[in-house]
Amino acid sequence: MAYHAFGRSIDTNVTGLAPVVLFFVLSGFVLARSLARGPTIAEFFRHRVFRLFPAGIAAVLLLTALHAQFGFYHGFPPDFSAFNVLLNALMLKHDINGPMWSMTVECLATPVILATFWICQRFGWQRVLPAIVILFGLSFVGQFTHLLGGFSNLGPLYAFLVGVVLHFTGKRFVEALTSNGGPSLQSSPPQFSRIAVFKNKLDG
């Protein structure tokens, strides 16, 4: 209701980069949890390929077929040559389906997440903090944010690192909320029950 009542004033929060940043944080966290289960590097990359590419390829081929049949396109008129369709299907470009720019960044972030997890596991999560600060600073530099071209935005790249760090610090954060005289998880309001569920997931 608030969005429809005050849409213009909160439009940036609802439809801007904020949801993308949150999604990238969650992505970094979930992928760190996946890496903690001990897959090999080859298995990790294989899972990423089968998670990202089938849907992306299907979307590009569907839009290509719609353009060939009806002249339909999304956003600005893209190049539907065979080579450009291939580049879009491989997520090296995203002019056929502009919103897929975030998947291009996801592909780029995969080795970054892997390296961040290794550093946190080997040397401690604190060693990643300078990289987060640097990437956050670069998110305000246009030459960096638009480095991949097109609609892509590398600005939120730091969010993946934040998600990985949350994997390594989340358990400690939850324990801090429920210790030192904090509320008991067994006799607590619903919000702390949700914290208990989150803690159990971290423990498991």
Pick from 119, 124, 91: nearest CA to 107: 91
Question: In 3D, which of 15, 32, 21, 47 has the Cα closest to residue 105?
Answer: 21
pLDDT band at 177; cut points 50, 70, 90: low
CA atoms within 13 A on the CB side of 110: 17
d(CA 76, CA 78): 6
Quote the pLDDT of residue 181: 53
Yes or no: say if 110 and 48 are a contact pair by the CB < 8 Å rule. yes
DSSP label of 184: P
Interatomic CA distance for residues 30 and 62, integer angstroms: 29
Structure tokens at 130: 């300078």
Does the pLDDT of residue 5 top 80, yes or no? no
Which pLDDT does position 150 carry in this prediction?
Answer: 84
82-98 pLDDT, tens per residue? 999 999 999 999 899 98
Residue 32 and residue 116: Cα distance in Å, rounded? 9
Euclidean distance between CA atoms 91 and 128, whole angstroms: 27
In angstroms, the CA 198 to CA 204 distance is: 10
Claim: this prediction has a pTM higher than 0.85:
no
Averaged pLDDT for residues 102-121: 95
